[in-house]
């Protein structure tokens, strides 16, 4: 199982140092990936947990004020990077085409993308979830070699479930993950309000290869309970 922790835009320096110490006490044999806020990456000293970023520039090194390029992430030990998160698609207006460019930059640098996809509440009500997810993935992975495609980690995150406490039924999750796996031979994570209470139910879905955790990532005690139940 893969457990990816998306801290989002949280924790000051002192809070992160305390958090990192607490995270160190979460014992697990599963692959844990911490994606902290970018400013905390140089502070990260934990070796049991792999390091991920929450974003990367679609441009290379050069005159791009404020951007962080993939080789800079590599130089700080980053091995994974979340891309295409719905918050960035919405707030930063990131397009499928930009996300595709980010996939390319990550592979050039040897970083594994954690590529997010998922439908809004309206899209699900209209029965368009597979159309939306299929489009997001097809554009992001267009032209990527078969070898690299197989390395991508896909995170299915229904937008209506992120941070809301609402989760799809297991049948809905299985339906989407089977659809994704019929198109791409990748590991698929589930993300959206997963926590130490609903994991007993979620883990009945054999097709889930791991989880992308937002809110729970910030609560090491609950995270400990969660990983022990996997």
User: Which of residues 81, 109, 189, 212 is near ligand PGA by CB under 6 A?
Assistant: 212
**Shortest distance in whole angstroms from residue 145 CB to ligand PGA:** 27
* 137-169 exposure pattern, b = at least 16 Cβ within 10 A, e = fewer: bebbbeebeeebbeebbbbbbbbbbbeeeebbe
* 192 near ligand PGA, judged by CB under 6 A: yes
Told to check if 134 binds ligand PGA by CB under 6 A, we report no
Within 4-33, the residues that bind ligand PGA by CB under 6 A are 6
* CA separation for the pair 105, 2 (Å, rounded): 23
Applying CB under 6 A, the site for ligand PGA has a residue count of 13
Indicate which single residue of 111, 173, 176, 213 sits in contact with ligand PGA (rule: CB under 6 A): 213
- Out of 12, 30, 110, 163, name the contact with ligand PGA by CB under 6 A: 163
90 makes contact with ligand PGA (CB under 6 A):
no
Query: At closest approach, how far in Å is the CB of 138 from ligand PGA?
Result: 22
**Residues with a known catalytic role:** 85, 157
CB of 214 to ligand PGA, least distance (A): 2
- Residue 53 sits in the site that holds ligand PGA (CB under 6 A): no
**Residue 162 CB, nearest approach to ligand PGA (Å):** 4
- The site for ligand PGA (CB under 6 A) is made up of 6, 157, 162-163, 191-194, 212-216
């Amino acid at each position: 199982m893969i457990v990816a922790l998306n801290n989002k835009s949280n924790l000051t320096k002192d809070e992160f140092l305390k958090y990192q110490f607490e995270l160190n006490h979460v014992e697990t044999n599963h692959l844990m990936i911490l994606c902290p806020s970018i400013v905390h990456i140089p502070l990260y000293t934990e070796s049991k947990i792999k390091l991920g970023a929450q974003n990367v520039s679609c441009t290379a090194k050069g005159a791009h004020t404020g951007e962080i390029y993939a080789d800079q992430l590599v130089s700080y030990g980053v091995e994974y990077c979340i891309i295409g998160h719905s918050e960035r698609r919405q707030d930063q207006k990131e397009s499928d085409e930009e996300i595709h460019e980010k996939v390319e930059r990550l592979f050039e640098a040897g970083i594994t993308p954690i590529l997010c996809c998922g439908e809004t509440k309206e899209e699900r009500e209209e029965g368009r979830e597979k159309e939306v997810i299929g489009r997001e993935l097809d554009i992001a992975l267009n032209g990527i070699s078969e070898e690299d495609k197989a390395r991508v980690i896909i995170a299915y995150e229904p937008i209506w479930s992120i941070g809301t406490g609402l989760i799809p039924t297991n049948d809905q999750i299985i339906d989407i993950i089977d659809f994704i796996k019929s198109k791409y031979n990748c590991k698929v994570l589930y993300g959206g309000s997963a926590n130490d209470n609903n994991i007993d139910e979620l883990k009945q879905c054999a097709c889930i290869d791991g989880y992308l955790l937002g809110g729970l990532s910030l609560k090491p005690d609950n995270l400990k309970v969660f990983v022990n139940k996997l």
